[in-house]
Amino acid sequence: MDSRVRRAFYIGRFQPFHLGHHKVISEISKNVDELVIGIGSAQDSHTPENPFTAGERIMMISRGLKDLALQYYVIPISDVYRNAIWVSHVKSMTPPFSSVYSNNPLVSRLFNEAGYAVLYSPMYNRTEYSGTEIRRRMLSGEEWKHLVPEEVVDVIDEIKGIERLKEVAMKGDIETLE
């Protein structure tokens, strides 16, 4: 690896990719040459908490970052359910990186223990720029489109994402009742 290239790692579930994520990446891009974006829990989809597939999240991120002049790589990362080996698992799937950006305490601890510098980013408009809040709005029929990049609205429309979310959420209710 060219040691002059500053390459960082940023991971999230991106269910969906929203303007908070976009702002974080835009800020990170001022400090790095390249960014490796990990799509966490890549194996999950079609549930109320994780409605979108890894491939759909790749579309949201790639199209949603078109306005940024940043070299980035989007890599799906499945969970391994063994925290002690997770950093090695991530490294086995990604281009090499020297720093990590995360606000997730477990992610920070695991990377710290593996010898990485972990940087926190400020939270932007967290009451609205939140996957949980956006999924809640999608389910209740409230406005959500202004909380994600416009390209993400197109992706969710293309994959009939709202219909899917409503259906899997309803199925969740039925399963809870059984």
Ligand X SMILES: Nc1ncnc2c1ncn2[C@@H]1O[C@H](COP(=O)(O)OP(=O)(O)OP(=O)(O)O)[C@@H](O)[C@H]1O
Ligand Y SMILES: NC(=O)c1ccc[n+]([C@@H]2O[C@H](COP(=O)(O)O)[C@@H](O)[C@H]2O)c1
Binding positions for ligand X, rule: CB under 6 A: 12-15, 20-21, 24, 102-104, 121, 123-126, 129-132
* Interacting residues of 98 by C-beta distance below 8 A, sequence separation 6+: 6, 7, 8, 116, 117
Of these partners, ligand Y, ligand X, none, which one is at the site of residue 170 (CB under 5 to 8 Å by kind)?
none
Q: What 3-state DSSP class applies to 28?
A: helix
d(CA 129, CA 152): 14
- Angle at which helices 161-177 and 131-140 pack, to 10 degrees? 90
Q: Which residues bind ligand Y (CB under 6 A)?
A: 11-13, 40-41, 79-81, 83, 86, 102, 104, 106-107, 110
Cα 110 to chain centroid, rounded:
18
Q: Which is nearer to ligand Y, 61 or 107 (CB)?
A: 107
CB of residue 125 to ligand Y, shortest distance in Å: 17
Give the nearer residue to ligand X in terms of CB position, either 5 or 130.
Answer: 130
Closer to ligand X by CB, 2 or 122: give it. 122
